[in-house]
Amino acid sequence: MEISFRDLMTVFHGMGFGALFMLAFSAALAELYRMSAPGAPSIPSAREHNLLLFYLSIMVILAWGAVLSGAYIVYPWYRAAVPPGVTDLADYPKFLLTSNPKTSAWHSLGMEWKEHVAWLAPIAMTMVAYVFAKYGPALARQKEIRTAVIGFAVVAFVATGVAGAFGAFLNKYAPVRGGAMIEIIAGEQEGE
Amino acid sequence: MIMANIKPIRPDEIPNGPGAAAILAAGIGCAAMGIFALAGDAFASLNHFFTFYAPTGALSGVWTSAVIVWLVAWFVLSRRWAPKNVEMTKVLSVSFALLAVGVLLTFPPVMDLIQGR
């Protein structure tokens, strides 16, 4: 079982950062609402507050990790220019997609939307984590701030969903491949 | 700043100023992302200007500039609003409007519509 270096980096970007960040949302949104809504059944303890703050901080790291690894590791491979004389576009995903009218919108809509909208998520989640750190359970008395925190978090969730979904489709139609092959597990050849 | 210092602060209360500053700055940062993305797409000279790192192209300058705008806005607003209660309804309206600008201007069909493509 082996994988190319670029495939591995794409997996780190998409699954290691992006998907984990996406998975973390449902719990974060539910906990933010539960702990800060007026009339919450109990005042969160300092331990619960610190745990959610730690959780939100990890989400912030995942969000920045996803966009930075995407922009500086995977995206340059995706948009690499085709050298003169090369006709096989398999290693040039952007040009592979745009060379065919049936796939060009995966780039013109999918990648161009994904590459920009994804940046809203780390900005929004950094604000959410800061505000929660600053106010904690006192958010229950700050209705407008709570509305903003949950509103921005929902938009970050949608932005991440758009980026993640298009990332998955793009990698299906024009995968970023190449680089050294990394053997993960040495397999056995089925013999006669 | 007309939004600032509208309510006295109780001794046991955390003023809403720091939260308002963070929220409005996030809105400004998101709007800046959309505006810079559109500008880089619409004008070749700006596209060239935003190319801070050639392999990533204009995206490198678009996001870096948006993040700088966001952090500077946060710093300035925090300095002004930290000890105060501000009019959150206005801050919220402006912040969500700016967030909507960011979302819309990062959507390629809207970018194309604005550029008449």
Cβ contact (<8 Å) for A127 and B22?
yes
List of long-range contacts for B47-53, beta carbons under 8 Å, 24+ apart: B53/A72
Which residue in the set A135, A149, A155 is minimally distant from B14, CB to CB? A135
Which residue in the set A67, A79, A151 is minimally distant from B57, CB to CB? A79
The CA distance from B24 to B98, in Å, is 8
Identify each DSSP E strand in A12-134 by its residue range: none
Cβ contact (<8 Å) for B56 and A126?
no
Taking only the tens of pLDDT, chain B with its 117 residues reads 545 556 655 656 789 999 999 999 999 999 999 999 999 999 999 999 999 999 999 999 999 999 999 999 999 999 999 989 999 999 999 999 999 999 999 999 999 999 998
The CA distance from A152 to A160, in Å, is 12
The CA distance from B21 to B76, in Å, is 8
Question: Which pLDDT value is given to residue B3?
Answer: 59
The token pair at A159 is: 């932005």
Average pLDDT estimate for A104-121:
97
For tokens 């809207």, name the residue: B110
The token pair at A151 is: 């509103």
Helix (H) or strand (E) holding A3: strand A2-4
From chain A, the residues in CB contact with B57 under 8 A are: 79
Secondary structure of residue B32 in the 3-state scheme: helix
- Residues A138-174 pLDDT 10s: 887 888 999 999 999 999 999 999 999 999 999 999 9
Secondary structure of residue A36 in the 3-state scheme: helix
Average pLDDT estimate for A90-107:
96
- Residues A11-41 pLDDT 10s: 999 999 999 999 999 899 988 888 777 776 6
The CA distance from A20 to A59, in Å, is 8
Question: Which pLDDT value is given to residue B5?
Answer: 56
The CA distance from A60 to A126, in Å, is 6
Cβ contact (<8 Å) for A75 and B103?
no
Q: What ipTM was predicted for this assembly?
A: 0.91
Cβ contact (<8 Å) for A145 and B14?
no
The CA distance from B111 to A45, in Å, is 47
From chain A, the residues in CB contact with B88 under 8 A are: 142, 144-145
B100 in contact with A, Cβ within 8 Å? no
